[in-house]
């Protein structure tokens, strides 16, 4: 049984939108996942949307986008896709579609996510990452990132899934999903963990207090233990674990460097959200990674 049997895909008629559909169709051919293609349209006058594009009035443009998306799916050999044109705000429409179709994952393009207006006013991918009660697969579709990604990829390669691991329930869910996806797509799995060095006086006090068990608070011991447990779990699910990578310092920067160095095809992370007025501008670590990497990102709910 594939990791995802049903996928809701956000559709709009643009180059980046078509790339999202292409990847969804490609993945569906390998797993037989059912695709639910959804396009939003405005019920009133043509009006600008936060992502910088326009939300067209009436169902015509949305239906045309869905027709073209269906043609892409058929070209990939996908014959089980269904289409829905729905009036309303794109974020609300997509989040509601996930609930209505009981889909475990929502796939959207990254358009608008890394722009200043997207950070200040909101973007469709940023909105669904915050609001969807399911996993969110963000497809990196901006022209520059797409071309860079293709240039870096050799003509023959082994797929790689990179998962960020730490000791929380959502991170464990991300590990589970990453391991199963790596099996679905015959990919190598790389486990990543980061740790912060303790302030020296604090570390010395802890070492003195723990005595023979002082190794528990020194250096990378804690994350090493977590990654070893993660590897055992992943292998039990049939995953091919290529390596464990541990870095000291900022987890976001470390994850981005490892993704770049390994040429990862997919980054998997727990979708840990911040709260408060600054959360939209700054974003959680998962949102920041999604904005800054040319790699596709799966955020696990």
Range with the poorest average pLDDT among 15-24, 29-38, 39-48, 245-254: 39-48
Phi/psi for 151 (5° steps) reads: -65, -35
CATH code: domain 156-295 is: 3.40.50.620
- What pLDDT does residue 161 have? 97
Number of H helices, E strands in the chain: 12, 12
Using an 8 Å Cβ cutoff, are 119 and 280 in contact?
Answer: yes
Total residues belonging to the chain: 301
**Percent of the chain at pLDDT above 70?**
74
- What pLDDT does residue 154 have? 56
Task: Give 269's pLDDT tier (boundaries 50, 70, 90).
Answer: very high
Query: ∠ at Cα 294 (290, 299), nearest 5°?
Result: 30
Closest CA to 129 of 294, 284, 293: 284
Closest CA to 197 of 250, 259, 234: 250
H helix runs in 106-199, sequence order: 116-121, 124-131, 143-152, 169-184
Task: Give 171's pLDDT tier (boundaries 50, 70, 90).
Answer: very high
Q: Which one has a higher pLDDT value, 291 or 100?
A: 100
Mean pLDDT of 168-196: 95
Tokens describing residue 184: 């679905």
- What pLDDT does residue 167 have? 86
The residues, ordered by sequence, that sit 6+ positions from 202 with a Cβ below 8 Å of its Cβ are none
- What pLDDT does residue 221 have? 64
Please return the burial class of 150, using the count of CB atoms within 10 Å of its CB with bins 0-12, 13-18 and 19+. exposed
Task: Give 27's pLDDT tier (boundaries 50, 70, 90).
Answer: very high
Tell me how far CA of residue 65 lies from CA of 42, 56, 116, 137, 169, in angstroms. 14, 11, 27, 20, 38
Mean pLDDT of 224-239: 96
- Domain limits of the chain? 1-152, 156-295
Closest CA to 40 of 54, 19, 52: 54
Task: Give 157's pLDDT tier (boundaries 50, 70, 90).
Answer: low
Task: Give 158's pLDDT tier (boundaries 50, 70, 90).
Answer: confident
Tell me how far CA of residue 105 lies from CA of 38, 130, 158, 248, in angstroms. 13, 14, 24, 32
Residue 228 has pLDDT above 50, yes or no: yes
Mean pLDDT of 179-195: 96
Task: Give 15's pLDDT tier (boundaries 50, 70, 90).
Answer: confident
Q: Which one has a higher pLDDT value, 88 or 48?
A: 88
Q: How far, in whole angstroms, is CA 210 from its chain's centroid?
A: 40
DSSP 165: -
Using an 8 Å Cβ cutoff, are 146 and 140 in contact?
Answer: yes
Average confidence score pLDDT of the chain:
82
- What pLDDT does residue 277 have? 47
- What pLDDT does residue 141 have? 82
The three-state secondary structure class of 209 is helix
CATH code: domain 1-152 is: 3.40.50.620
């Amino acid at each position: 049984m594939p990791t995802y049997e049903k996928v809701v895909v956000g559709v709009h008629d643009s180059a980046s939108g078509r790339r999202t559909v292409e990847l969804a169709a490609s993945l569906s051919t390998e797993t037989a996942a059912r695709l639910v293609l959804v396009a939003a349209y405005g019920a009133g006058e043509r009006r600008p949307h936060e992502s910088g594009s326009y939300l067209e009035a009436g169902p015509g443009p949305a239906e045309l986008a869905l027709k073209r998306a269906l043609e892409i799916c058929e070209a990939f050999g996908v014959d089980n896709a269904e289409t829905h044109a729905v009036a309303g705000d794109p974020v609300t429409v997509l989040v509601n579609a996930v609930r209505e179709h009981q889909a475990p994952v929502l796939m959207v393009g990254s358009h608008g996510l890394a722009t200043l207006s997207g950070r200040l006013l909101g973007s469709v991918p940023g909105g669904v990452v915050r609001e969807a009660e399911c996993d969110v697969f963000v497809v990196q579709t901006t022209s520059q990132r797409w071309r860079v990604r293709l240039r870096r990829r050799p003509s023959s390669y082994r797929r790689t899934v990179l998962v960020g691991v730490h000791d929380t329930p959502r991170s464990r869910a991300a590990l589970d999903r990453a391991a199963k996806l790596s099996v679905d797509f015959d990919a190598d799995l790389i486990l990543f963990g980061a740790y912060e060095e303790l302030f020296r006086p604090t570390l010395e006090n802890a070492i003195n207090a723990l005595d023979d068990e002082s190794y528990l608070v020194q250096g990378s011991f804690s994350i090493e233990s977590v990654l070893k447990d993660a590897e055992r779990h992943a292998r039990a699910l049939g995953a091919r674990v290529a390596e464990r990578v541990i870095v000291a310092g900022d987890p976001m920067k470390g994850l981005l460097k490892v993704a770049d160095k390994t040429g990862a095809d997919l980054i998997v992370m727990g979708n840990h959200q911040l709260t408060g007025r600054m959360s939209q501008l700054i974003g959680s670590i998962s949102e920041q990674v999604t904005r800054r990497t040319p790699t596709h990102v799966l955020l696990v709910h």
